[in-house]
């Protein structure tokens, strides 16, 4: 029994050391390339780039693999071309451990419209509530992105790309939703999401 516990303890210590090594490798990758656009802690240097802090590690890994394979088109393809699967998973875990911070709403009236559309959708145009997939708190799932605290400009851009089918992955459901959103609703939802915690 003691040997089994001792062996289990060694296995656990080895797994913990490997996880720490993976996070150390992720920190090196972040400090070598990711920080330029996404910041050291995933807070991004511009509204053009997504905030990665607090995002689900599985979702981030999927997006990086989609960039690498060319399934999702962008300049990110070159940034991830030489990363292996373990490094991609480690980056997902690294950014998931960073604490996201909400942005203060810039216009309370627009934000109120966004809150309504996010939680209720628009029955008149057939827009589904964002909360029905991404959750009432915007936390998402391992398959769907965390939206809470995302840069408003980035969210607006993604919704417009989904509408035009320029976003080349995860497009089927989001195209249908984005194609029904008005410019005002896109702006409003993006502003509301940015202020979510």
| Same-fold call for 18-96 versus 108-195 | yes
Q: What is the CATH number of domain 18-96?
A: 1.10.760.10
Calculate helix-pair angle for 183-195, 108-120, nearest 10 degrees.
Answer: 90
Looking at the DSSP bridge assignments, the partners of residue 127 are: 122
> 19: which 2 tokens?
């996880």
Q: Dihedral, CA atoms, 40, 170, 113, 160, nearest 10 degrees?
A: 90
Q: Domain map of the chain by residue range? A: 18-96, 108-195
**Which of the four pLDDT bands, split at 50, 70 and 90, describes residue 19?**
low
**For the domain 108-195, what is the CATH superfamily, name and number?**
Cytochrome c-like domain (1.10.760.10)
pLDDT reading at 95 higher than 80: yes
- Buried residues in 108-125 as b, exposed as e (16+ CB within 10 A): eebbebbbbbbeebeeee
| Tens-digit pLDDT profile for residues 44-74 | 989 999 999 999 999 999 999 999 999 999 9
| pTM for this entry | 0.86
**Which of the four pLDDT bands, split at 50, 70 and 90, describes residue 83?**
very high
Least confident of 20-24, 69-73, 187-191: 20-24
> 121: which 2 tokens?
């959708």
Task: Decide if 138 contacts 193 (C-beta within 8 A).
Answer: yes
């Amino acid at each position: 029994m003691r040997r089994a516990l001792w062996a289990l303890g060694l296995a656990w210590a080895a797994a913990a050391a490997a996880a720490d090594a993976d996070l150390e490798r992720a920190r090196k990758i972040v400090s070598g390339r990711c920080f330029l656009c996404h910041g050291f802690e995933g807070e991004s240097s511009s509204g053009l780039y997504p905030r990665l802090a607090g995002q689900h590690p599985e979702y981030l890994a999927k997006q990086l693999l989609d960039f690498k394979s060319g399934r999702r088109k962008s300049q990110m393809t070159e940034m991830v071309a030489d990363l292996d699967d373990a490094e991609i998973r480690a980056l997902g875990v690294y950014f998931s451990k960073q604490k996201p911070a909400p942005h203060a709403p810039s216009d309370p009236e627009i934000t109120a419209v966004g809150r309504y559309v996010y939680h209720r959708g628009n029955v008149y145009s057939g827009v589904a509530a964002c909360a029905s997939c991404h959750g009432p708190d915007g936390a998402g799932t391992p398959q769907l992105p965390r939206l809470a605290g995302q840069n408003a400009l980035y969210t607006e851009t993604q919704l417009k790309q989904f509408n035009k089918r320029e976003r080349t992955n995860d497009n089927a459901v989001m195209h249908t939703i984005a194609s029904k959103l008005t410019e005002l609703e896109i702006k409003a939802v993006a502003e509301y999401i940015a202020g979510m915690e």
